[in-house]
C-alpha cells in the first residue's frame, strides 16, 4: 500500500492487512459491529491479558484507514497516563498493520496524524468533562471514541457529557469502552453491563480466549499460581469477575446469557411471590432447579408496583399457569383474593431464623445461574447483596433487609427444598 492510499474495499482490507489474524477470534463479532456501525456502544470487559486494549488500538487505526473523513478520539481519565499507556499501543497497532511510516507521532498533546490525509487519532484526558466542549477534529468527524480503562471514570454522566460534545453531527460514530471490571459489583459500569442500553453490546473476555503463545508461559504460570493461592483475587484480576467488596453474600453467581434450549431443559420449576407493601414492588420470579447439581437458574421475573389483584393474577397465570406459587404469608387476605381468581397460591411457613437460614442455603448452592438480559432485577439484587457493616465499615454476619425483593421471592419459591435440607440437618 502506498502512503496516499486508504483501504478501498473489504477485500483489500482483509487481504492487505490480514486484520482478522491480528486479534483473537473472540473479537471478530465486536470488530464487525464497530466496522459496520451496527452498535452505538461496545463494552469490552475482561481480566488481565485478554487483549482488549490491543484490539481497541487496531480498531482505532483501521477506522482512519477505512474512511478518509474519519478521525478517532481516545480518552482516559488522566492525561498523564495516555502517553505511556495508550500511545505505544496505537503505534504498535500501526506497526502490526504495516502502516506505521504513514503516521506521524506527536507527544504534546499526544496524537497520531495520518500523513496522506491529515486525519488524526487524538488522545485526551477525561478528568474534567467541561474540557471536551468544543472538541472537534480539524476535518471530518469522529467515527470512533475509545474510552480506555473506562471504569476509572467517576460516573456515566461524565462520559455522556463528553460524548454529547465530541459526537455532535456524527450519526454513525461508535463508542468503545475497554476496562477491567471493578471488584465491587455495584460499581456503575458493572451495573451498566448487566443490562446494556438499547444500541449497546457487552463482551466479556479473559486471557484464555487468546492463543497461549501470544502471552507466553510465564504469564500462564503467574495466573495459575494466583488461582491456587488467592482464588478471589484470581477471579477478579484474570477472569474479570466482580468478586465483591469482601462482603458479597452470593459468591456462587454465574452471570451469563442463557439460550432457549437451556431454559427449556429446566423441567423442575418453582414460582415465588413477594408482596410489595407501601412503596415496595411485588416480585414474581420463576426458577429452574437441578437438585443433583445443586444449581438454581433464574428463568423469569415480573417486578412492578401498584398492581391490583386481577393484574397480579394474570401475571402469575402467564408465567406459571396452574403451578403453585409460593407467597409471602404476611398478607393472607391477598392470598385469598388470588385463590378466588384461580391462582394456585400457597403461603410459605415463616419462623425465627427462617430468613437467615434460607439465604445461607442459597449462598451454599453450587451455582445460581442468572441471565441479566432475561432477569435484570434478579441479576442486580443478587450481585449487589452484601453483608451489613458496623460503625467502622467492617462487615458483620448479618444480612441487610433492603433491595432484596427478588431474593425473598426466590426464598419463598424454594421454601419446600430449603425445608427438606433443614430437616435433614436437625
Residues that are catalytic: 149
Residue 44 DSSP symbol? E
Q: How are beta strands 295-304 and 253-255 bridged, if at all?
A: unpaired
Q: Residue 140: which region, alpha, beta or left (left: phi > 0; alpha: psi -120 to 50)?
A: left
Distance of alpha carbon 13 from alpha carbon 121, whole angstroms: 19
Cβ atoms of residues 273 and 334 within 8 Å: no
354-363 vs 405-413: helix axis angle to the nearest 10?
90
Query: What Rg do the C-alpha atoms of the chain give, in angstroms?
Result: 26
Cβ atoms of residues 274 and 282 within 8 Å: yes
Residue 353 DSSP symbol? T
Distances (CA, A) of 287 to 222, 226, 270, 372, 406: 39, 34, 5, 14, 11
By the 10 Å C-beta count (0-12 exposed, 13-18 middle, 19+ buried), 155 is classed as exposed
Distance of alpha carbon 408 from alpha carbon 411, whole angstroms: 5
Q: Give Dmax (Cα) for the chain.
A: 80
Distance of alpha carbon 255 from alpha carbon 298, whole angstroms: 10
Amino acid at each position: 500500500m502506498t502512503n496516499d492510499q486508504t483501504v478501498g474495499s473489504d477485500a483489500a482490507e482483509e487481504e492487505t492487512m490480514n486484520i482478522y489474524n491480528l486479534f483473537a477470534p473472540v473479537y471478530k463479532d465486536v470488530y464487525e459491529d464497530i466496522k459496520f456501525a451496527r452498535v452505538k456502544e461496545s463494552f469490552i470487559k475482561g481480566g488481565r491479558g485478554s487483549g482488549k486494549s490491543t484490539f481497541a488500538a487496531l480498531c482505532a487505526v483501521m477506522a482512519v484507514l477505512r474512511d478518509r473523513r474519519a478521525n478517532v478520539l481516545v480518552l482516559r481519565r488522566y492525561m498523564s497516563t495516555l502517553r505511556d499507556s495508550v500511545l505505544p499501543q496505537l503505534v504498535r497497532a500501526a506497526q502490526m498493520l504495516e502502516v506505521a511510516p504513514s503516521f506521524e507521532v506527536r507527544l504534546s498533546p499526544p496524537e497520531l496524524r495520518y500523513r496522506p490525509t491529515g486525519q488524526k487519532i487524538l488522545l485526551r484526558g477525561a478528568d474534567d468533562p467541561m474540557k471536551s466542549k468544543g472538541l472537534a477534529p480539524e476535518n471530518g468527524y469522529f467515527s470512533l471514541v475509545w474510552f480506555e480503562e473506562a471504569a476509572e471514570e467517576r460516573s456515566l454522566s461524565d462520559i455522556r457529557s463528553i460524548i454529547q460534545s465530541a459526537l455532535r453531527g456524527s450519526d454513525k460514530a461508535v463508542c468503545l469502552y475497554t476496562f477491567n471490571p471493578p471488584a465491587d459489583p455495584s460499581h456503575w459500569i458493572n451495573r451498566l453491563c448487566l443490562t446494556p442500553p438499547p444500541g449497546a453490546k457487552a463482551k466479556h473476555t479473559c486471557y484464555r480466549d487468546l492463543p497461549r503463545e501470544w502471552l507466553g508461559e510465564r504469564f500462564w504460570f503467574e495466573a495459575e499460581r494466583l488461582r491456587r493461592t488467592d482464588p478471589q483475587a484470581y477471579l477478579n484480576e484474570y477472569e474479570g469477575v466482580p468478586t465483591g467488596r469482601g462482603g458479597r453474600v452470593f459468591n456462587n453467581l454465574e452471570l451469563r446469557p442463557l439460550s432457549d434450549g437451556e431454559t427449556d431443559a429446566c423441567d423442575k420449576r418453582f414460582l415465588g411471590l413477594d408482596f410489595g407493601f407501601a412503596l415496595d414492588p411485588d416480585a414474581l420470579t420463576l426458577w429452574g432447579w437441578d437438585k443433583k447439581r445443586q444449581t438454581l437458574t433464574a428463568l423469569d421475573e415480573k417486578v412492578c408496583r401498584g398492581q391490583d389483584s386481577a393484574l397480579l393474577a394474570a401475571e402469575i397465570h402467564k408465567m406459571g399457569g396452574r403451578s403453585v406459587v409460593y407467597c409471602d404469608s404476611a398478607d393472607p387476605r391477598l392470598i385469598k383474593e388470588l385463590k378466588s381468581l384461580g391462582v394456585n397460591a400457597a403461603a410459605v411457613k415463616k419462623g425465627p431464623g427462617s430468613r437467615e437460614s434460607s439465604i445461607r442455603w442459597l449462598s451454599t448452592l453450587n451455582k445460581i445461574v442468572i441471565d441479566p438480559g432475561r432477569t435484570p432485577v434478579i441479576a442486580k439484587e443478587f450481585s449487589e447483596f452484601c453483608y451489613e457493616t458496623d460503625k467502622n465499615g467492617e462487615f458483620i454476619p448479618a444480612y441487610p433487609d433492603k433491595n432484596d425483593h427478588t431474593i425473598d421471592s426466590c426464598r419463598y419459591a424454594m421454601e419446600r427444598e430449603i425445608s427438606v435440607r433443614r430437616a435433614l440437618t436437625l
